[in-house]
Copies of this chain bind each other. A is one copy, B any other.
């Protein structure tokens, strides 16, 4: 019951290895009758060619590598589902590696994937990634690379992202429409483009409606954790009682904020409204349920895989990389916290 080889089939059917191989790949110079016989037999014995041997000739591994900043992360898990689903449909295997938000580890993981001869790399970069040499090296090797969600403007690779600035702008406008005037922002770390963009969207909405913009109402969540949200909300309650709404860079800090407000028995959303970002599974389960921005994770994953395939095809034909940047739509999910 070992895995069969072309040789086994050739022997069984009294053909040469060459003919069997060609028949299976529908070469035009094999007779229809032979093809049929070979295919029927291969089907019967459940033959699939040895991927390793095939690689040695074709240099195609039919594997892609995915690097995400965190393994245990609702949004990235959803992206992964989208990638895997699409990979499956196209007969690719996927190797997942986590950078744990570390630039150094990210470099290592990318190098490992290159050594593994993956056909392409899908990556969402770490919050601490400030240098794109490792990405550029992949490009030089002509290995297709696609960014998703967290990308860098410094590398001209295809990407699939959301419009973070516009999404944040919509979210804050919703708070304003609810009558909120003093809106604090729990922002993400300084480096990643998406935390910059969410901040910019926040500021744009504030300034456009001529509401108060204060630096003291901006807090940086280094770990984008619920703990960050809890701590800063406590600080806001103690030092900025005029604040009447909080817009968080992500759901986890927003949930930390709700936890804190509940403990202080602050009425949500009457005294303080809370808006998250990402629509994690938990956000529907807090009391009160969290209003947030829905980010289409699975769709993002599927699109990233499709971009990889397109890029690979382009490289194969020797065309120059025609950088595609896909922007997926987001929408507000209004629950009880606003």
Q: Which residues of A does B touch, CB under 8 Å?
A: 1-3, 48, 50-53, 55-56, 61, 71-74, 77-78, 80-81, 84, 93-98, 112, 114-117, 137, 140-141, 226, 255-256, 258-259, 262-263, 281-282, 284-287
Contact, CB under 8 Å: A53 / B56: yes
Q: Which residue of B lies closest to A287 (CB)?
A: B262
Q: Which residue of B lies closest to A137 (CB)?
A: B1
Contact, CB under 8 Å: A81 / B71: yes
Expressed in whole angstroms, the minimum distance between the Cβ of A120 and any Cβ of chain B is: 15
Count copies of this chain in the complex: 2
Expressed in whole angstroms, the minimum distance between the Cβ of A274 and any Cβ of chain B is: 13
Query: Contacts A50-B117, A61-B52: A287 and B285 contacting too (C-beta < 8 A)?
Result: no
Contact, CB under 8 Å: A226 / B286: no
- Please, which residues of chain B bring their CB within 8 A of the CB of A95? 93-95
Contact, CB under 8 Å: B81 / A93: no
Query: Contacts A71-B77, A77-B71, A77-B77: A117 and B51 contacting too (C-beta < 8 A)?
Result: yes
- Please, which residues of chain B bring their CB within 8 A of the CB of A282? 255, 282, 285
Partner of A116, one of B1, B51, B226: B51
Partner of A81, one of B53, B81, B98: B98
Query: Contacts A94-B95, A137-B1, A140-B1: A285 and B77 contacting too (C-beta < 8 A)?
Result: no
Contact, CB under 8 Å: A71 / B61: no
Expressed in whole angstroms, the minimum distance between the Cβ of A137 and any Cβ of chain B is: 7
Residue with the greatest number of chain B CB neighbours at <10 A, chosen from A96, A140, A284: A96
New contact pairs (16) apart from A51-B115, A52-B61, A72-B281, CB-CB < 8 Å: A1-B141, A2-B141, A3-B114, A3-B115, A3-B117, A52-B53, A52-B56, A71-B80, A84-B96, A93-B95, A95-B95, A96-B96, A226-B285, A258-B287, A259-B285, A287-B287
Partner of A286, one of B3, B48, B84, B285: B285
- Please, which residues of chain B bring their CB within 8 A of the CB of A116? 51, 93
Please measure, in the bound complex, the distance between the C-alpha atom of A48 and the C-alpha atom of B114, giving whole angstroms.
Answer: 11
Please measure, in the bound complex, the distance between the C-alpha atom of A98 and the C-alpha atom of B298, giving whole angstroms.
Answer: 14
6 A-B pairs closest in CB distance: A72-B77, A52-B55, A262-B287, A52-B52, A282-B282, A48-B115
Please measure, in the bound complex, the distance between the C-alpha atom of A61 and the C-alpha atom of B72, giving whole angstroms.
Answer: 27
Expressed in whole angstroms, the minimum distance between the Cβ of A111 and any Cβ of chain B is: 8
Please measure, in the bound complex, the distance between the C-alpha atom of A140 and the C-alpha atom of B255, giving whole angstroms.
Answer: 49
List 28 contacting pairs A-B, 8 Å CB cutoff, sorted by A.
A1-B140, A2-B141, A3-B114, A3-B115, A3-B117, A48-B115, A51-B115, A52-B52, A52-B55, A52-B61, A53-B56, A56-B56, A71-B77, A72-B74, A73-B77, A81-B98, A84-B96, A84-B98, A93-B112, A95-B95, A255-B282, A258-B287, A262-B287, A282-B282, A282-B285, A285-B286, A286-B286, A287-B287
